[in-house]
Amino acid sequence: MRHLLDWLDIDETTWQSCIREAHRFADHRSLHANRFLGKALGMVFFNDSLRTRVSMELAATELGANPVVVTPGSGTWGFAWEDGQAMTGGEAEHIREAVGVLSRYCHGLGVRLFAEGLDRERDVSDARLKVFAAASDVPVLNLESAARHPCQALADASVLHRTFDGNPAGKKFVLHWTWHPKALPMAVPNSTLLMASRLGMDVVVARPEGFGLDEEVMEAARRQAAAHGGSVTVTTDADAAADGAHVVYAKAWGGFERYHDPSAEESRRHANRDWRVSSSRMACTDQGMFMHCLPVRRGVVVDDAVLDEGPSLHLDQAEFRLHAQKAILSMMWGGETAAEAASATTSYS
Ligand code: CP
């Protein structure tokens, strides 16, 4: 059974094969139209979505499978998570039965399950995602959890390959923290950092004091960068980071202080309101491309002109969600064989 919870669990050959497959699907929208006829993909969305939901429903449908979406607590039962406790609260069904039942109906399950923001260890370790996966008898796809967003990472990696003619390695990639009214979770920055370092890019994490990423993720990114000829550095100077950058990937996230002192985190975050990607910051880059996973707050995270006048890849990223997720479904249910992948000549490291 092949879950996709985190690309760190997936070998290099498969990662490269998925990027290659995403490009093939991008070039041929109707490729493998009936490959998964008769299969059902269940998707459980505990949190809101536009891109993930629509692109995943389309990806499954265009490959011949039937997507089924469940939104717990809104038209279906709410699910309880705690073990060994009488379910006297509002939830009518335990996650163990819910996932068990869905895996009798479906051949694969996707789940969106954001950080709760209450217990750092629980969020960092993706504890609830692991409970969900353990209860399933069929493969589970992470559609954005507390700590990872692998579908976004594959789409972004595929876009970067296309943008840099198959060779993003050695390009300067800035992961640029931005202010946001809410302490957003770290799934996207974690996955973005891991993705760019795996591509061998020279990654600069630009963020204010107090907004460091999880050290285990940083360490994994440094290891990947070293293995693929890139680097990972950190700075609190956004202007210096932008200087000569080929890519500026904007993302807001909350500091870990939120778990023990939320008001201190909020004050610190609001003191950094000027961390926004402006046209003047982009002008310091080396004709750099703007990236964002969307949804994005205009005038907060980024100036309108950066999005409207470019160069920006944000809509390509969204488009590639469809192509990348077809590649992921093919990996999950069987597509390109290991022998085909191993004999491919293009390297995506
Ligand atoms: N980028 C992304 O996952 O978008 P949605 O939250 O709309 O799914």
Q: Structural domain boundaries of the chain?
A: 7-148+320-343, 153-316
Model confidence at 342: pLDDT above 90: no
Structure confidence by residue, pLDDT tens digits, 296-326: 999 999 999 999 999 999 999 999 999 999 9
- How much is the mean pLDDT over the chain? 95
SS3 state at 45: strand
Whole-structure pTM value: 0.95
Model confidence at 346: pLDDT above 90: no
Question: Is residue 50 within 6 Å of ligand 1 at its C-beta?
Answer: yes
Residue 269 vs residues 24, 197, 214, 245, 321: alpha-carbon distances, Å: 42, 26, 17, 25, 30
**Residue 268 confidence (pLDDT):** 98
* DSSP letter string, 226-287: HHHT-EEEEES-HHHHHTT-SEEEEE----GGGGT-HHHHHHHHHTTTT--B-HHHHHTSSS
For 153-316, the fitting CATH number among 3.40.50.1370, 3.40.50.300, 3.40.1280.10, 3.40.50.170 is 3.40.50.1370
Tell me which of 44, 45, 51 to substitute to probe ligand 1's pocket, judged by most ligand atoms within 8 Å of the beta carbon: 51
Tokens 């950066």, residue located: 306
Provide, rounded to the nearest whole percent, the portion of the chain with pLDDT above 90.
93
Model confidence at 341: pLDDT above 60: no
Q: What is the mean pLDDT of residues 193-200?
A: 98
**Residue 335 confidence (pLDDT):** 61
CA-proximal residue: ligand 1, atom 6 (nearest)? 49
149 CA to middle of ligand 1, Å? 9
**Residue 2 confidence (pLDDT):** 82
Strand 79-80 relative to strand 93-94, pairing:
parallel
Biggest distance spanned by C-alpha atoms of the chain: 59
Structure confidence by residue, pLDDT tens digits, 8-41: 999 999 999 999 999 999 999 999 999 999 999 9
Q: 7-148+320-343 and 153-316 share one CATH topology?
A: yes
Question: Is residue 317 within 6 Å of ligand 1 at its C-beta?
Answer: no
143 CA to middle of ligand 1, Å? 9
- Architecture of the CATH domain 7-148+320-343: 3-Layer(aba) Sandwich (3.40)
